[in-house]
Amino acid sequence: MTQTPIRSTSTLRGLRCRECGAEYAAEARHVCEWCFGPLEAAYDYEAIRSRVSHQSIAAGPRSIWRYRPFLPVSGERLIDLGTGLTPLIRSERLARRLGLKALYLKNDAVNVPSLSFKDRVVSVALTRARELGFTTVSCASTGNLANATAAIAAHAGLECYIFIPADLEAGKVLGTLIYGPQVLAVDGNYDQVNRLCSEVADRHGWGFVNINLRPYYSEGSKTLAFEVAEQLDWQLPDHVVAPIASGSLYTKIYKGFQELIKTGLVADKPVRMSGAQASGCSPVAEAFRGGQDFVTPVKPATIAKSIAIGNPADGIYALDIARKSGGSIADVSDSEIIEGIKLLAQTEGIFTETAGGTTVAVLKKLVEAGQIDPEETTVVYITGNGLKTQEAIAPYAGEPLQIEPSLASFERALERARTLDRLDWQQTLV
């Protein structure tokens, strides 16, 4: 068994295989040599426990790095663009609409620098990449990861290559190009892009944030659990709803809650974990419904491109967590996703992308199915910004009224609009 001793004052102890427990040095590797299981960061929790307190965290940076002892880095040079500590909003109007008493929205649509939760995972991955000596970084992306990697690599002065499926939304392509990486638009879906990138990673020795750096990358998602607990005054919620693409974010939110319990920062209590997928790419929801403990890959066909991963790497772990926590994994159609985007915008003033629409629509579906108790403290993770997926929603958002610059023209338009509203309203009564 490969076991290199780690010399470091950090709490990171190395990597460990999730399946067989084999241990490895904290290098750029992600698959177990013995059983091909995924590798995960391992920590000295006693060291963390003795080092962190509510006060030490509160005194830390106003970013994900306030939770640094829980993150897989060893040096002092952190990449900190202020990522994280996004708002946790107590919902009033959406909660009332759904009949929930304690609904909260974790709003990563306004995360920085690139307006999605991916800024968290990339800040961690590239900090570690630099510690490991990489000067060129890369990723296979469904869009948001491309934006975050390109932006944060630019900030850190790393050379950057981004691989995306060629049919990505324009906002996500532009939101990558602007940072100046080499962008490769691959004629294929995300799963094909990912396969290609595994080959490139082997051959070129670059740091791929979601391939050979994946054990570091994925740990960044735990900050979504830490922040919610801190923002709820160091209480865990009763139930969370989060989107599932590869299943990394969902499983790491769970790991984050467990780590807070393990280190005594919150009281032990169960958190029900529910997951959201788009029906056009819902292999994990299908397996959940079918009572299977394996995930059958699918070919994605949905407007929710940011979560369209047909062969999810952490799918089986997500299934296990949903079942043992008493949560559920459900999927919604593209038209429900559009309704979800509009519902969140029109009740809470938050414009999310298709992944957020998926999560809100699944929340609604779970409430209607009686799977969310109205009294439970429920947190919904809104993971990306709507301005990046405009083509998905533009046809359904309505049109401005075109008028001349005169009061008469305005009054005529207003009358017309009110008549149309009345007709709309009468139709909904039928």
Ligand X SMILES: *Cc1c(COP(=O)(O)O)cnc(C)c1O
Q: Which residues bind Zn ion (CB under 5 A)?
A: 17, 19-20, 22, 32, 34-35, 37
247 makes contact with ligand X (CB under 6 A): yes
Q: Which stretch binds ligand X (CB under 6 A): 161-169, 239-247, 330-338, 371-379?
A: 239-247
Residue closer to ligand X (CB basis): 12 or 245: 245
Q: How far is residue 186's CA from residue 374's CA, in Å, rounded to a whole number?
A: 45
Which range binds ligand X by CB under 6 A, 76-84, 111-119, 287-295, 408-416?
Answer: 111-119
Instruction: Assess contact for 119 and 147: CB atoms under 8 A.
Output: no
Return the closest-CA partner of residue 16 out of 7, 8, 3.
Answer: 3
Q: Determine how β-strand 136-140 pairs with β-strand 207-208.
A: parallel
Which among Zn ion, ligand X, none contacts residue 22 (Cβ within 5 to 8 A by kind)? Zn ion
Minimum distance from residue 385 beta carbon to ligand X (Å) = 8
The Cα 250–Cα 314 span in angstroms is 9
- Strand order in 39-43's β-sheet? 23-24, 12-17, 39-43
Q: Which is nearer to ligand X, 125 or 265 (CB)?
A: 125
243 binds ligand X (CB under 6 A): yes
Shortest approach of ligand X to residue 94 CB, angstroms? 19
Instruction: Give 165's contacts (C-beta < 8 A, 6+ positions apart).
Output: 142, 185, 186, 188, 189, 190, 192, 193, 305
Q: Residue 118: which of ligand X, Zn ion, none does it interact with, CB under 5 to 8 A by kind?
A: ligand X
Q: Of residues 120-149, which lie at the interface with ligand X (CB under 6 A)?
A: 144
> 182-186 and 272-278: which strand pairing?
unpaired
Please tell me whether residue 237 binds ligand X under the rule CB under 6 A.
no
Nearer to ligand X (CB atom), residue 65 or residue 117: 117
- Give residue 103's identity as a one-letter amino acid code: L
Minimum distance between the CB of residue 238 and Zn ion, rounded to whole angstroms? Answer: 34
Round to whole Å and give the CA distance between 400 and 417. Answer: 10
Considering CB distances under 5 to 8 angstroms, the limit depending on partner class, which of Zn ion, ligand X, none binds residue 19?
Zn ion
Shortest distance, CB of residue 83 to Zn ion, whole angstroms?
32
| DSSP string over 137-174 | EEEE-SSHHHHHHHHHHHHHT-EEEEEEETT--HHHHH
296 carries a ligand binding annotation: no
- Stretch 276-315: interaction string toward ligand X, x if CB under 6 A: ------------------------------xx--------
Nearest to 255, CA basis, from 4, 11, 18, 10: 18
Q: Rule CB under 6 A: choose which of 63, 248, 274, 328 binds ligand X.
A: 248
Q: What is the CA radius of gyration of the chain?
A: 22
Show binding-site residues for pyridoxal 5'-phosphate. 144, 383
Show binding-site residues. 144, 383
> Which residues would be at the binding site for ligand X (CB under 6 A)?
116-118, 144, 243-250, 306-307, 353, 355, 383-384
